[in-house]
């Protein structure tokens, strides 16, 4: 049996060409900042600040990474970020998964009421000042709890996880577990969770990336620099660079101006190196969770 290939029309060919052109442009737009940051982190800061280095490295140097690894604040921030991300993600999973599973059960009394209350919080919240007052009254200012507890659960993630449980865990399995004398807690821990590795990976990735990139709660609630996460340390470096650059261009002359300019170049070099160092863990983890990530997005978008 001979299968004839479908002949593409001119319109189809033009559409494919337009798609390829669009994808190439999008790829270049996304790739260029990554290549630029990597090149800037290993280039002479004089070439970077003057604009001579625009894509590939010039004046190869690893001084930026050397300064990063020698800076105790960056290592402290790195350790704090790992701690906040791990504990925060664990708390998120402990709250999100049981809540999503309970809301997925058709025999859960009051399911629609609780789901409606959750949805309200997606559109209305107390705002920054009321939230700060609540955190302050709870005695969480300048503590790790201020960064973790206010974001202990995300309604969007609960909805995605609930949809997964509804579509992937058959009711017959639950009924068979009940016949064997399994309680609700045992059913969730011994049967549902082992079958839910895709959604667990998706939730861990969502929450983990959010905690890793978070800096605003630390800016609001933390007073002690020793407790700053890595993103706050990076922010300090950026602010220092901007202040130094403004001071350098404010009419100061002689050796002082040169010293300030050198300090600005060093700050710029460290900035790019810190960006690479702070991004590496997420880049390293994502390929292993990519298929779960795509699956989780499709679950939440198709079967809401």
Distance CA 151, CA 136 (A): 15
Fold of 79-221: MetI-like fold (1.10.3720)
CA dist 275 → 45, 55, 82 (Å): 15, 17, 16
Higher-pLDDT residue of 34 and 292 is: 34
Mean pLDDT across the stretch 221-233? Answer: 89
Residue 99: per-residue pLDDT: 92
Q: What does pLDDT average to over the chain?
A: 82
Residue 172: per-residue pLDDT: 83
Q: Which residues contact 207 (CB under 8 A, 6 or more apart)?
A: 88, 89, 92, 93, 96, 154, 157
Paired tokens of 83: 């701690």
Residue 4 backbone phi and psi in degrees, to 5: -85, 135
Token pair 């503590």 in the structure block, residue: 143
Q: Is the dihedral of CA 276, 278, 284, 287 positive or negative?
A: negative
Is 271:238 a contact under the CB 8 Å cutoff? yes
Count the neighbouring beta carbons within 10 Å of the beta carbon of residue 131. Answer: 15
Q: Which helix (H) or strand (E) holds 132?
A: helix 128-137
Mean pLDDT across the stretch 220-246? Answer: 78
Mean pLDDT across the stretch 8-26? Answer: 89
Tell me: the pLDDT tens digits for 171-186? Answer: 888 888 888 788 888 8
Residue 276: per-residue pLDDT: 85
DSSP classification of residue 191: I
Entry field: residues in the chain: 304
Tell me: the pLDDT tens digits for 270-290? Answer: 778 888 888 888 888 777 777
Residue 244: per-residue pLDDT: 57
CA dist 127 → 123, 142, 183 (Å): 12, 20, 40
Q: Which residues contact 281 (CB under 8 A, 6 or more apart)?
A: 212
Task: Give the lowest-confidence range in 119-133, 164-178, 223-237, 246-260.
Answer: 246-260
Distance CA 254, CA 204 (A): 53
Paired tokens of 255: 């050796």
Is 91:152 a contact under the CB 8 Å cutoff? yes
Domain segments of the chain as ranges: 13-61, 79-221
Distance CA 292, CA 203 (A): 10
CA 191, chain centre distance (Å): 30
Distance CA 191, CA 150 (A): 30
């Amino acid at each position: 049996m001979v299968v004839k290939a479908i002949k593409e029309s001119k319109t189809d060919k033009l559409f494919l060409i337009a798609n390829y052109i669009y994808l190439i442009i999008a790829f270049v737009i996304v790739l260029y900042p990554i290549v630029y940051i990597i090149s800037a982190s290993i280039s002479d800061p004089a070439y970077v600040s003057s604009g001579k280095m625009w894509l590939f490295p010039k004046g190869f140097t690893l001084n930026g990474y050397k300064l990063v690894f020698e800076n105790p604040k960056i290592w402290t921030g790195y350790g704090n970020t790992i701690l906040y991300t791990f504990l925060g993600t664990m708390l998120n999973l402990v709250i999100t998964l049981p809540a999503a599973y309970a809301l997925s059960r058709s025999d859960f009394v009051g399911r629609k009421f609780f789901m409606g209350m959750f949805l309200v919080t997606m559109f209305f919240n107390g705002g920054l000042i009321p939230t700060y007052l609540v955190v302050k009254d709870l005695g969480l200012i300048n503590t790790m709890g201020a960064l973790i507890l206010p974001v202990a659960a995300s309604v969007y993630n609960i909805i995605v996880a609930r949809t997964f449980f509804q579509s992937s865990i058959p009711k017959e399995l639950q009924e068979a577990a009940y016949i064997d004398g399994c309680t609700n807690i045992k059913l969730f821990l011994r049967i549902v969770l082992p079958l839910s590795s895709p959604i667990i990976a998706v939730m861990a990735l969502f929450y983990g990336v959010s905690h890793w990139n978070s800096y605003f709660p630390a800016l609001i609630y933390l007073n002690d620099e020793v407790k700053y996460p890595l993103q706050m340390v990076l922010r300090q470096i950026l602010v220092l660079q901007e202040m130094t650059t403004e001071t350098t261009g404010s009419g100061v002359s002689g050796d002082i101006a040169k010293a300030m300019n050198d300090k600005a170049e060093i700050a710029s070099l460290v900035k790019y190196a810190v960006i690479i160092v702070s991004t590496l863990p997420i880049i390293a983890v994502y390929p292993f969770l990519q298929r779960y990530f795509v699956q989780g997005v499709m679950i939440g978008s198709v079967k809401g």
